[in-house]
Structure 1
Amino acid sequence: MPEVLVADDDPHIRQLLVFALEKAGMVVREAADGEAALAEVARARPDLIVLDINMPRMDGLEVCRRLRAQGDLPILFLSSRDDEIDRVLGIELGGDDYVVKPFSPREVVARVQAILRRGRAMSADQGAVSGRGRLAIDEAAWLARWDGVDAPLTVTEFGILKILAGAPARVYSRDAIIDRLHGPGFAITDRTIDSHVRNLRGKFAALGGHDVIETRPGVGYRLGPCQGGAA
């Protein structure tokens, strides 16, 4: 049974999510603020954290920064409708997805299940190491490497890279990427995909890989030559 940590300072929201997630077959723990969330993760790492952006003592963005410094724990953000800047920043910090308040508990459950499903599929994939140029993708180990150095990717970032690498000559629209990540009809904005791609580029650029993803203006993205030159 997957274990999920729900971090939100509103006890009513926590109660709703605990009920919905447990009904979907998950083990759920709670945290009422950012510091408590970090303490819970340190005590026992969950499979995913549902993380509110606006919390006392430490907000969700700072929690995300600290978690990303430690590893790739999947993160689903909760944000207010008027916090678009925070939502985009949350994705750029390494969040896998977000849900806007007020939300349907079913939507949160669906997004949690989608993230966990991608993680399980990637972990269970027994395909050989693939790649292009100086990029290597080990699907069985759920790792991407540049010149043998691991790139610390989130579940969603790895999923996007895997999609692009699966057909290197193809240009994928943002909608096509969303459909392959979540299934048709899943509500995510183009800007969210752009933020994930920007994260991917930044992580590989830090390793010397400046040409991992190409942009085709007005169309979408495709895998670059992965030789280390400018994208």
Structure 2
Amino acid sequence: MTTDAPSPLAGLRILVVDDTDELAEILTFVLERAGSTVTRAADGLTAVERALAEDFDVIVMDVGLPGIDGLEACRRITSEREATVVMLSAREAAADRTAGTEAGAVGYLAKPFTPRKLVADLSALLEEHRRGAGGG
């Protein structure tokens, strides 16, 4: 059975922050195919500048970034404005997840992932966040 239901990510403005061009291109491709508009940044300082200058529905940010890492970038962004930040990392330890939450992230996606899993997990995290924030 096929469904014509739109992707839960359709229409979202997403900032993708990753210093690995190949991964950033894959993330951009997958998220744009899901109907999102994607802007990219390759380091923590640029991510902070863009996130404070523009409105994004969600920021998907790698933990390991040059300059300031993703956790510090997340702290700076969320201390200045309300932002939905999802951390992306190859580290899956509970302490890493806790550090992301303490920095202001609403969720944590583990690498590696398939495109389908990325869209499904990101959609689920955003839905859970909306429900928790009284949005649904």
| TM-score greater than 0.5 by the shorter chain | yes
Matched, 1:100 2:86: no
Residues 85 and 105, structure 2, Cα contact 8 Å, conserved in 1: yes
> 2:57 is matched with which residue?
47
Separation (CA, whole Å) in 2 of partners of 1:82 and 1:23: 27
Q: Matched residue of 2:55: which SS?
A: coil
The RMSD of aligned alpha carbons is 2.3
Question: Which of 54, 65, 72 is the aligned partner of 1:62?
Answer: 72
> 2:23 is matched with which residue?
13
Residues 35-79 of structure 1: CA distance to partner in whole angstroms, max 9, x if unpaired? 111111123121100010000011000011111212221111111
> 1:72 is matched with which residue?
82
Residues 72-122 of structure 1: CA distance to partner in whole angstroms, max 9, x if unpaired? 211111112365433221112221111111122222222332344456x65
Separation (CA, whole Å) in 1 of partners of 2:92 and 2:109: 12
Counterpart AA for 1:87: R
Residues 3-57 of structure 1: CA distance to partner in whole angstroms, max 9, x if unpaired? 0000010011101110100000000010000011111112312110001000001
Counterpart AA for 1:68: T
Separation (CA, whole Å) in 1 of partners of 2:80 and 2:63: 19
Higher-RCO chain (CA-CA 8 Å, sequence separation at least 6): 2
Question: Which of 24, 32, 47 is the aligned partner of 1:22?
Answer: 32
Q: 1:115 to 1:84 in 2, by over 3 A?
A: closer
Gaps of 5+ in 1: 123-155, 163-231
Counterpart AA for 1:15: E
> 1:228 is matched with which residue?
none
Gaps of 5+ in 2: 1-10
Separation (CA, whole Å) in 2 of partners of 1:92 and 1:77: 12
Q: What is the aligned-residue identity percentage?
A: 38
Q: Normalising by structure 2, report the TM-score.
A: 0.80
Q: Matched residue of 2:40: which SS?
A: strand
Larger of the two Rg values belongs to structure: 1
Residues 74 and 115, structure 1, Cα contact 8 Å, conserved in 2: no
> 2:5 is matched with which residue?
none
4+ residue runs of structure 1 moved beyond 4 angstroms? none
